[in-house]
Structure 1
Amino acid sequence: MLIKKSLDDYLEALSSREATPGGGSASAAVGAMGAALVLMVAGITRPKLKKRDQKKLDKVVRDLKHALRRIKQIIDLDVKVYRDLIKSYQKVKNQKPSHPAARKQIQIALSNSFRLQADLALLIAMVKEITPVLGRYAKGSIANDLTVARGFLDGGFLGALATARINLVYMTSSRKEHFERGLSQLEKKYHGGKF
């Protein structure tokens, strides 16, 4: 499991000539760093707040922890989903002529890869949506960590969008346009500050 490796080992794997881990896993890792920093800011800020504000922040922290847990899972899950996609392509390549069921398997694998990265983008957007709330409470140097977290979140979000979209390029599904519209709406909300 990549998530259990040291950062150095993960970076070595990422920089190797192997196809995995790749951009999808890296996007999740960057998003996880952003979410973790947001959690740190919440943890440091909480004791300085009034009880009423602490209770509001406690719900935010629960949501953040849930999102971080799911984002961390995607670091490894992306590798599995990508390998499944490659296996699907290899099945078609090895069959002469290629069997319709094998081509359908490619479309299923592309859809799974797309959905995983679209889910990652949504999770990161949910974390980013929380940052203005924390920004009201975070004062002094800890506010800088929130700025750094936003940078990580932006990087993870853009990576997840790009990885989701590359899967759309190869999809033949009638839902392809629907998926692209959904991504475009999410991207617009994210960059418009609606998240």
Structure 2
Amino acid sequence: SGGMRFLKGAGFLVRGLAQVSMNLTDFEQTPIHRAFEMVKREAARYGVMPISSEIVGLIPKKALEQAAEWFLQVENFDSSLILENRLAAVMGGKMAVGGLRAGVEPFVEQLAAPTATPGGGSASAAAGAMAAGLAVMVASMSRGKKAYQQHETQLSAAIASLTPLREELKAAVDADAESYNSVMKAYKAAKADEKSGERLIEAALKEATAVPLGVAEKAYEVAQLVKLLEPITNPNMKSDLTTASALARAAITGALANVEINLASLKDGAFAAEVRQRTSRLRS
């Protein structure tokens, strides 16, 4: 592998020439141009140069884009600058039913409906998930680029942290609505049996507090990761990180507002004190 983790290689004698056959198991971690340059440097040590190369089978378009960026030394390269990529994105949006709007419209209309759920808690979770999504996009579009090679480890770590946060925040969109519905059911049950009903209400309120608290804490993590990405990613994508930061902050603010409303109805003072201690660091 020549010291390259995601490369499997072997040497052969073909038509009187030395052939280096390579299989890249992860072209984003070990780009094709890096493998080619390594062979070229090793060959130079023996006073020879590669005379040609070939691709056997299919190759991801992104791998060729990375190679073009490397060898042409294009500054601040973005794959959206490629005409075919831009056309595909535009045409793809038009061919989808309703375009991007089709994905978000049902949720927005549910928020606008005259029903208690989904409400601010679900919207906060969605905002946090969108913040994480934008941050992953920015980090992914900088990772593997020549200009940001020194930040490769940090970018990969950020993506690895943001991805599960995004999934958890997406799950919280439904979880928040479900926890509110559980509180309403507990209040109804209390009318039939006041003694057991109080316990049900308290338990439901604690769960309804835990969900937005989790949203606030996860959104806070997202916000911190967004800050980390600002100096190590493409400056042309600064507006995306600014949007991600604003969405994360909105998620925290909205989620904490829901936490406070539920705490006001709880009788367990120790639980409320513990929650407020956890939320104090999120307000800075």
TM-score (norm 1): 0.87
1:150-161 to structure 2, matched below 5 A, reads: 150-161=245-256
Larger Rg: 2
CA drift of 1:52 comes to 4.6
1:77-92 to structure 2, matched below 5 A, reads: 77-92=175-190
Q: Greater RCO between the two (CA within 8 Å, min separation 6)?
A: 1
1:56 equivalenced with 2:154 (yes/no):
yes
- Alignment: residue pair count: 181
Identity of aligned residues (%): 28
Q: Deviations over 1:15-44 (max 9, x none)?
A: 000111011101001111111111111111
Question: 1:170 aligns to what SS in structure 2?
Answer: coil
1:173 paired residue number: 268
1:13 paired residue number: 110
- Segment drifting more, 10-19 vs 44-53: 44-53
Q: Which amino acid aligns with 2:234?
A: K
1:163 paired residue number: 258
Match of 2:208 among 113, 124, 133: 113
Structure 2 CA distance for partners of 1:147 and 1:50, relative to 1, 3 Å: closer
Contact 2:212–2:256, Cα closer than 8 Å, also in 1: yes
TM-score (norm 2): 0.61
1:138 paired residue number: 233
Considering only aligned residues, what root-mean-square deviation do their CA atoms show, in Å? Answer: 1.5
CA drift of 1:132 comes to 2.1
1:185 equivalenced with 2:281 (yes/no):
yes
Question: 1:6 aligns to what SS in structure 2?
Answer: helix
CA drift of 1:168 comes to 0.1
Cα distance in 1 between the residues matched to 2:148 and 2:173: 37
1:27 paired residue number: 124
Contact 2:138–2:241, Cα closer than 8 Å, also in 1: yes
Unaligned stretches of 5+ residues in structure 1: none
Structure (1 or 2) with the greater strand fraction = 2
1:66 paired residue number: 164
Unaligned stretches of 5+ residues in structure 2: 1-101
CA drift of 1:50 comes to 4.6
Large movers: runs of 4+ above 3 Å:
49-52
